[in-house]
């Protein structure tokens, strides 16, 4: 009897914590709309444009490396003050393809070089730091291999750096293959929420926000002042961002400047990317939150930094809540507490409704001239995918907490843009993960939860509960389907890094 009461209390406590993170999304919307018009402008234009280096960190990107180099080489910027570094750590024929393309543009008079490392120490952070040794620019732009930057994005926006306090400007990601599949559509909407609402709200309200590792420009002296690129977390970009802002540097987010990119088309690659981001954010939280709270920053900055860096703990809470849901429901039935179900239904709805409103607002703000309201139909799938990531991202959080030596797994890019593009027979395809089977088991478990809710006549809870098996079955079955065969024996390159032990 005591155990049953403990289970019910624990369930309500965890659900209350989840609702706090849900309510925080409403807070982000408030900050966004309250500060929406606080758009920062350059102090003045440069009298003479500064020297600019563009760094392109790559690793086994044979399908997109030529597209990337061509796009950057065609950028509008004075050629006598423009340098391109292809920072290639590849172990396949990407290096050869890149070398040919670099030679082609070099013959046209472009200052472009290929820097190939055999010793991949530090991985992307190490490549960026190594490139700075020979970089000529006062400012450094960074684009990952899956990006296709527009010709004028640097020329039009370099003038923000006439303000000596500005360390970094970040462009907004847009997605060239968002219409390829349901998965790419959902990812695009999720990323729009992060960039359109969160970045804008944090930046324009005077709180910290982060460089996203690509599609941005750094003041080189700010990188050095903040301690340089470090690789003791899986999110070197988030880490450097917070260290720089703690030093007093200011960032600018430019939501009106679009940086086209390719989102993963493969479920297993998407899950690996999400795991890396989740683990890296917790590693950064463990590394920097003590310094943030000891700093002289305002309470609003400290509080939002805490929510930002610990947000992935919500996956761990959601997993615990999921596991407790059935025994807690049965325990309530044992004591005749059927009506108590409506309390946690209220808490859960408060969390999920906030998610729906948040992403719907992001779609409206991202493209108000389009038929954004037609994307309402994707909201149940967005919430289901978030639920389906619970096991994947909970593992990432736990590995970060316990300092696991976790492999750094890159996100494969296949050069996919339209529905007719085929990627299934290309290399870099990922193996299915053992946790995929646990996701399937969780889907079955929630079918049992729904059956129990039906038995106890809790019919109003069934639509919300249905999001759980939908999410877990979608993630697991699609992972199994896409991972059932591999095109090449070298399909996946795994990079092993030492995660921070904190």
Residue closest to 167 by CA, chosen among 208, 133, 126, 128: 208
Alpha-carbon gap, residue 63 to 60, rounded angstroms: 9
Specify the 3-state DSSP secondary structure of 120: coil
In the numeric block, the tokens 């003050």 are attached to: 81
CA distances to 37, 183, 437, 471, 495 from 440, rounded to whole Å, are 46, 18, 5, 10, 28
Q: Give the three-state DSSP class for 12.
A: helix
Collect all residues with Cβ–Cβ distance below 8 Å to 321 and sequence separation of at least 6.
Answer: 11, 14, 15, 18
Strands (E), 178-215: none
Report the length, in residues, of the chain: 502
- 136 phi-psi bin (left φ>0, alpha ψ -120 to 50, beta other): alpha
Mapping DSSP to helix (H, G, I), strand (E, B) and coil, where does residue 163 land?
A: coil
E strand or H helix that includes residue 259: strand 250-261
Is 58:128 a contact under the CB 8 Å cutoff? no
Angle between helices 467-482 and 435-455 (to 10 degrees): 150
Which of 120, 127, 152, 159 has its CA nearest to residue 142? 127
What CA–CA distance (Å, rounded) separates 162 from 417?
A: 37
Q: Which residues pair with 168 in a beta bridge?
A: 218, 251
* Alpha helices in 311-340, H assignment, sequence order: 313-335
Which of the residues are catalytic?
89, 237
Q: Count CB-CB contacts under 10 A for residue 398.
A: 15
């Amino acid at each position: 009897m005591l155990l049953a009461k403990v289970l019910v209390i624990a369930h309500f406590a965890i659900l209350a914590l989840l609702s706090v993170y849900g309510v925080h999304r409403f807070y982000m919307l408030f900050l966004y709309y309250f500060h929406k018009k606080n758009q920062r402008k350059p102090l003045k234009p440069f009298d003479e444009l500064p020297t600019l280096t563009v760094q392109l960190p790559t690793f086994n990107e044979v399908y997109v490396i030529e597209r990337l180099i061509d796009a950057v080489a065609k950028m509008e910027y004075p050629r006598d003050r423009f340098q391109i570094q292809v920072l290639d750590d590849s172990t396949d024929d990407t290096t050869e393809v890149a070398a040919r393309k670099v030679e082609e543009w070099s013959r046209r008079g472009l200052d472009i070089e290929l820097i190939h490392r055999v010793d991949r120490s530090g991985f992307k952070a190490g490549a960026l730091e190594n490139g700075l040794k020979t970089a000529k620019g006062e400012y450094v732009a960074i684009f990952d291999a899956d990006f296709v930057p527009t010709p004028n994005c640097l020329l039009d926006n370099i003038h923000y750096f006439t303000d000596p306090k500005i360390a970094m400007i970040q462009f907004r990601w847009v997605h060239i293959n968002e219409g390829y599949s349901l998965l790419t559509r959902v990812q695009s909407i999720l990323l729009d929420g992060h960039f359109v609402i969160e970045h804008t709200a944090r930046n324009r309200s005077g709180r910290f926000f982060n460089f996203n590792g690509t599609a941005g420009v750094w003041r080189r002296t700010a990188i050095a002042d903040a301690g340089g690129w470090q690789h003791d977390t899986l999110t070197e970009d988030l880490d450097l961002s917070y260290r720089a802002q703690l030093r007093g540097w200011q960032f600018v987010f430019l939501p009106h400047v679009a940086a086209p990119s390719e989102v993963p088309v493969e479920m297993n690659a998407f899950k690996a990317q999400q795991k890396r981001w989740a683990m890296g954010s917790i590693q950064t939280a463990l590394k920097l939150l003590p310094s943030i709270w000891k700093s002289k920053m305002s309470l609003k900055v400290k509080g939002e930094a805490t929510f930002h860096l610990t947000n992935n703990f919500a996956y761990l809470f959601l997993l615990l809540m999921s596991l407790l849901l059935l025994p807690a429901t049965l325990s309530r039935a044992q004591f005749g507490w059927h009506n108590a179900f409506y309390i946690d239904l209220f808490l859960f709805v408060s969390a999920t409704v906030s998610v729906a409103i948040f992403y719907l607002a992001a779609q409206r703000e991202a493209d108000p001239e389009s038929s954004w309201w037609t994307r309402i139909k994707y909201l149940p799938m967005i919430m289901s995918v978030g639920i389906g990531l619970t096991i994947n991202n909970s593992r990432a959080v736990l590995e970060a907490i316990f300092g696991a030596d976790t492999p750094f797994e890159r996100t494969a890019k296949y050069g996919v843009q339209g529905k007719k593009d085929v990627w299934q027979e290309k290399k870099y395809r990922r193996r299915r993960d053992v946790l995929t089977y646990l996701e399937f088991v969780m889907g079955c478990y929630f079918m049992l939860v729904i059956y129990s809710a039906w038995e106890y006549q809790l019919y109003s809870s069934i639509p919300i509960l249905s999001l759980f098996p939908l999410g877990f079955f979608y993630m697991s079955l699609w992972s199994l389907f896409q991972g059932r065969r591999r095109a090449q024996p070298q399909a996946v390159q795994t990079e092993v890094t030492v995660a921070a032990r904190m």
